[in-house]
């Protein structure tokens, strides 16, 4: 556990990546418009290095207030699902493609929105540094913005491509539903969507040891 910042859930081993200086750098970043309106920046947390890395689209209201990723209801669902699969949050790395909350002001209220292309591009080097430091065997892309940021035109829609395997810089990537999307479903549709989410995360865990003789291909699908 990193002793310098007990407010965050970090378990790091010695490597070239200095988490605290990285955090300071993100905290002072104004590379995009979102830097002017954040309460806190939100970098990843968990285990570093880790076989599994989860990447969501960006901090929401609660994450912005607490400065930690996936701490709202969607985060609770993710944590709950990981527990069902025998994993703790602290055994994986959880982060987002952007480090500041993206929102629109609607009737004096802040309403979350997906990050814009220019915001993703401005923030992407931070994500790449986290990926390099975490060195995952599998990246789980949570939702459409995260999947398309990593996979570009290879990714079509989350409905079409969830649960399939892709390649990002020789790391296996599996797009899955965003837990916030799962939570928006009602009744039987919720049960069905949650089952899909659960089985996709199981597939991601199985993928850690997936043998990929075709791994030199730019993209592979089951």
Q: Which is nearer to ligand SF4, 124 or 220 (CB)?
A: 124
**Three-state SS annotation for 120-133:** HHHHHHHHHHHHHH
Two structure tokens written together for 81: 């699902």
CB-wise, 74 or 127, nearer to ligand SF4?
127
**Could you give the residue ranges of the DSSP H alpha helices within 57-186?**
61-66, 73-84, 117-134, 144-151, 158-161, 179-184
Question: 23, 47, 89, 99: which one contacts ligand SF4 (CB under 6 A)?
Answer: 99
C-beta nearest to ligand SF4: residue? 35
Which window, 14-22, 33-41, 87-95, 165-173, contacts ligand SF4 (CB under 6 A)?
A: 33-41
According to the binding rule CB under 6 A, does residue 134 interact with ligand SF4? no
Task: Write the DSSP string, 184-220.
Answer: H--HHHHHHHHHHHHHHHHHHHHHTT---TTTTSS--
Using rule CB under 6 A, residue 43 touches ligand SF4: no
Contact residues toward ligand SF4 (CB under 6 A) are 26, 29-32, 34-35, 41, 98-100, 119, 122-123
């Amino acid at each position: 556990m990193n002793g310098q910042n007990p407010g965050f859930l970090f378990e790091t081993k010695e490597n070239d990546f200095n988490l605290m200086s990285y955090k300071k750098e993100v905290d002072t970043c104004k590379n995009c418009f979102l830097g002017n309106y954040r309460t806190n920046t939100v970098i990843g947390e968990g285990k570093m290095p880790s076989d599994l890395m989860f990447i969501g689209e960006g901090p929401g209201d609660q994450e912005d207030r607490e400065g930690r990723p996936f701490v709202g209801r969607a985060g609770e669902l993710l944590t709950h699902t990981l527990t069902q699969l025998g994993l703790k949050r602290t055994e994986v790395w959880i982060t987002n493609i952007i480090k500041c909350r993206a929102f629109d002001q609607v009737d004096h209220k802040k309403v979350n929105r997906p990050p814009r292309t220019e915001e993703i591009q401005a923030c992407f080097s931070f994500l790449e540094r986290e990926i390099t430091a975490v060195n995952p065997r599998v990246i789980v892309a949570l939702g459409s913005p995260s999947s398309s940021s990593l996979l570009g035109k290879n990714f079509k829609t989350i409905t079409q491509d969830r649960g399939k395997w892709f390649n990002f810089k020789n790391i296996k990537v599996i797009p899955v539903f965003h837990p916030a999307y799962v939570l928006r479903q009602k009744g039987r549709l919720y049960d069905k969507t949650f089952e899909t989410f659960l089985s996709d995360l199981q597939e991601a865990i199985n993928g850690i040891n997936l043998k990929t003789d075709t791994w030199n291909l730019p993209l592979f699908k089951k």
